A and B are shown apart, each in its own frame.
Chain A
Amino acid sequence: MLETKEFELNMGPQHPSTHGVLRLVLHLDGETVLDVDTVMGYLHRGTEKLCETRNYYQNVPFTDRTDYLAAPYNNLGYVEAVEKLGGYQVSERALYARMAIVELSRIASHLFWLATHALDIGAQTMLFWCTREREVILDFFEAALGDRLTTSAFKPGGLRRDLPEGWVEAVLEFCSTFPARVEEYETLLNANRIWIERTVGVGVISGEDAIALGLSGPMLRGSGVDHDLRKVLPYGGYETVDFDVPVYPDCDSYSRYLVRMEEMRQSTRIVQQALAKMPEGKITGKAPKMIKIAEGVEAYHVVESPRGELGYYLIGGGKDIPYKCKIRAPSFCNLQAVGPMCKGHLIADVVTVIGTIDIVLGDVDR
Chain B
Amino acid sequence: MSTIVSSAPSSSAPEKTFLERFLLVELLKGMWLTLKYTFRPKVTVQYPLERESVHPNYRGILRVDESTCIACYLCEKICPDKCIHLEGERGYTKGKGGKYATYFYIDHARCLFCGLCEEVCPVDSIYHSNEYEAAVYNRVDAVHDLQILDSGHNIIHYER
Q: How far is the CB of B15 from chain A (nearest CB, A)?
A: 10
Tell whether B57 is near chain A: CB-to-CB under 8 Å.
yes
Given contact pairs A160-B119, A206-B7, A146 touches B29 in the complex (Cβ within 8 A)? no
20 intermolecular pairs with C-beta atoms under 8 Å apart: A61-B112, A61-B116, A142-B55, A142-B58, A143-B57, A146-B58, A152-B116, A187-B30, A188-B30, A188-B33, A190-B13, A192-B30, A193-B27, A206-B7, A206-B9, A207-B6, A249-B6, A249-B8, A254-B11, A255-B12
Whether B69 is near chain A, meaning CB under 8 Å from some CB there, is: no
User: Which chain B residues in 1-36 approach chain A with CB under 8 Å?
Assistant: 1-14, 16, 25-27, 29-30, 33-34
Q: Are B80 and A58 in contact, with the CB atoms below 8 A? A: yes
Partner of B29, one of A187, A206, A227, A248: A187
Q: Is the CB of A192 within 8 A of B26?
A: yes
Please, which residues of chain A bring their CB within 8 A of the CB of B79? 58
**Is B140 located at the chain interface by the 8 A CB criterion?**
no
A325 smallest CB distance to B (angstroms)? 13
Our pick among B6, B33, B55 for the contact of A164 (Cβ within 8 Å) is B55
Per CB-CB distance, the 10 closest pairs between chain A and chain B, nearest first, are A227-B2, A61-B114, A191-B26, A249-B6, A224-B5, A58-B80, A207-B4, A207-B7, A143-B55, A206-B7
Interface residues on A, range: 35 or more
Using CB atoms, name the residue of chain A closest to B14. A191
Interfacial residues of chain A within 24-62, with CB under 8 A of chain B in the complex: 54, 57-62
A residues 117-171 near B (Cβ < 8 Å) are 125, 132, 135, 139, 142-147, 150, 152, 160-161, 164
In the bound complex, do residue B80 and residue A249 qualify as a contact, i.e. CB atoms below 8 Å apart?
no
Query: Is A226 among interface residues, defined by CB-CB distance under 8 A?
Result: yes
Contact (A192, B55) CB under 8 Å given A224-B4, A226-B2: no
* Assembled-state Cα–Cα distance A137/B116 (Å): 24
Residues in A171-198 with C-beta less than 8 Å from chain B: 184, 187-188, 190-193, 196
